[in-house]
Chain A
Amino acid sequence: MSGNNIPPKKRIKDLTFGEKIYIPEIVKGLSLTLRTMFKPKFTMEYPEEKFIPAGSYRGRPVLVEEKNGEERCVACGLCSRVCPALAIEVQAAETDREKERYPEKFEINMLRCIFCGFCEEVCPEEAIVMSKDYELAFSNREDAIYGKDKLLVPVDQLQDRIDFLRNYK
């Protein structure tokens, strides 16, 4: 194209002789490796060894299951409304329990979820919280949609997160 006549960039500095033969640079690199080998290591041998995050960690969202085996969720649909990724589907139905309604269906599409934690923040019942579970792998799209069977987690397994929320939210 005419007008596009910017001259090619000139090299500002040519490599020095030492750099050109590489050997000193290689020695420098190897010595760093050697020094690091004797320092304490931080890498974990996953999956043999597992990372257990703190309460502030946002793993996959789960539903809180009370001690009596019932969900806390009243199917208000606020999490579904606030979810920026449209990951949550809730279908309410009537129950005889005091709170009148419960989620007949509660599904989170883990392929849509972006782990933002908005659902947890908006929930009026502390019924959906972010867990420590980060191990999510599926071989097809259908498996990525988690129903109540996979979402409900007993409340005592979630105590860390609930304490964190009560202290810092």
Chain B
Amino acid sequence: MSKFNIDGKDIEFKPGQTIIEAARDNGIEIPHFCWHPKLSVSGNCRMCLVEVEKMPKLVIACSTVAAEGMVVYMDSDKAISARNAVMEFFLINHPLDCPICDEAGECKLQDYAYQHSTGESRFVEEKTHKDKRVELGPNVMFDGDRCISCSRCIRFCDEVAKDAELTFVKRGDRVTITTFPGEQLDNPYAMNVVDICPVGALTNRDFRFKARVWDMAHTNTICNGCARGCNIEVWTRNNEVLRLVPRYNEEVNSYWMCDHGRLNTFKFINAGDRIDGPHMRVEGNLIKVGWDEAFAKAASNLKAFGKDEIAFLGSAYATVEDNFVAAKFAKSVLGTGHLDFVRHIDPTFGDEILRNEDVTPNTKGAELAGVAPSKNGFDFNGIVKAIREGKIKALYVLEDDILNDNLELENVLAKLDLLIINASNFNKTSALADIVFPAATYAEKNGTFVNFQGRVQRIRPALATNDVDRALEGMSMSRLDKFGTKYDRWAQGKHFDARSSWKILVGLASAMGQKLKYNMAEEVFYDISNSIDAFKGLDYDVIAELGVQLKSVNLKSTVKI
């Protein structure tokens, strides 16, 4: 392999790589604003100027192709003073309104001002003034003063979202960003420009001013918006999710996520219709009851039916662990083979970039976990038919509002003698349920999802519930999470009385006199890896942050129960 030298260190490079790319592959960051590994090279910010021996002038590392034997200096006097000068230029017209800027704390300009600037300005003239608070689109706000004209946002729309909406207008120090006439920045991936904008020129209108980034904790997890399973970080403060941002995983979502995932997959967690504690129907109304009471009631009610009169629906919204325990519960505790789950396919949602037409996060995982009818059991359509015919009288539904997609089912569910559900929010299905167990959301539990590619990925709890404690569970904690006491108003965030579905089923099994011996999601997964071929050899540490591609996504894999 060919090599070149940077600051006295020999590094290898692949033919055609630029200096900045090769350096990055070797863990050396050359400062840059406009360059982004997934966008075309623009070379306008000049921050990556480096000195190369035998070249008359400094060159920009982002567009200079590395060559055998090149000697590059990032820390020579010339390179350092060039960076100082570039920073001084950037700061000439920058408003320095960090106190009111949402980017503060995660701003490249702030960071580089510390690292690469002398901190002195010789500019005494008045700064330029541009438009502030410009609504570029429904979800993105633009501040012209802060923009450093790096063109990342323009290139993102052109090259990644494939929807040219943004452009520069005017010249010199009056240059600014705008949308094309009659256009809005509203493509399904628009909000990624907020993440890649190196300064606070583009802000997330949904998150604007809600919290300071240094007051929040963040947790690596997976988006539950569709079967892509984009890798994300959940940002929380005071036990509430405030924003989601994408997390780099080249195999799944690269640096991006879609706006639907970013905006619509967390607000239900703290919504007013969230179910807090188990509920039972008494005289037509759902009444909050204790766990033991709900378990005892569910157990005795279920026991009143013959094995063949009970059906169980798993869920593509629940984790592999939940579905695995559900299958086990249906087969060995209830003794029924009428076991399936509902697929939610929305062809209008899918696209060629990230979004997948399967709008659940874990269809593959539910299949692999063994949520399927046994030989003589009914599948979903069979179960519906059998309920109509009065053959099936009791139904258990795991984390799925099956009425929402299919209102015709209302008459069917109304025929049931017993409907038990695990759900996170009150919904159309809960309106007909007799017993409702409060399910923890994906942001409150450990577990795994298998995406449409057959990649198993981990979700982690970002919010505490009555069941999972932030410190004991080893969850990510901000300074405020660590030091808040019960007397601090800023530490009183709502803790819901909810449990992971697998845990609810373990409790119910024990009320029915059967032991499913799991105390942690990890133990369930251990059992999964021992009994399902596709998961052989895996554990939570192996899956780690970026997930593992299952070798044989053989949908008929045998489940030993």
Contact = CB atoms under 8 A, between A and B. Distances in A.
A86 B208 contact: no
Nearest to A89: B490
Interface in B196-216: 208-210, 212, 214-215
Given A86-B480, A100-B100, A100-B133, A92 B209 contact: yes
A100 B200 CA distance: 14
B513 interface: no
Closest 7 CB pairs of A and B: A76-B99, A92-B209, A77-B212, A89-B490, A124-B99, A74-B100, A101-B100
Nearest to B210: A92
A74 B488 contact: no
B487 interface: yes
B133 A109 contact: no
Interface of B: 98-100, 104, 132-133, 208-210, 212, 214-215, 479-480, 483-484, 487-490
Interface in A93-115: 93-94, 99-101, 107, 109, 111
Contacts of A35: none
A78 interface: yes
A92 B237 CA distance: 14
Nearest to B208: A94
Given A75-B209, A94-B208, 14 more contacts: A74-B100, A76-B98, A76-B99, A77-B212, A77-B215, A80-B215, A89-B490, A94-B209, A100-B132, A100-B133, A101-B100, A107-B489, A109-B487, A109-B488
Given A81-B214, A86-B480, A76 B208 contact: no
Contact of A145 (B98, B210, B480, B489): B489
A101 B209 contact: yes
B209 A93 contact: yes
A99 B212 CA distance: 17
**A: interface residue count bin:** 20 to 34
Nearest to B480: A86
A78 B212 CA distance: 9
A105 to B, nearest CB: 9
A99 B100 contact: yes
A82 to B, nearest CB: 11
A125 interface: yes
B209 A141 contact: no
A86 B483 contact: yes
Given A86-B488, A93-B209, A94-B208, A78 B483 contact: no
Contacts of A141: 487
Pick the most buried of A77, A109, A125: most chain B CB atoms within 10 A of its CB: A77
Contacts of B210: 92
A84 B99 CA distance: 19
Contacts of B487: 109, 111, 141
12 contacts: A76-B99, A76-B104, A76-B212, A78-B99, A86-B479, A86-B480, A86-B483, A89-B489, A89-B490, A101-B100, A124-B99, A125-B99
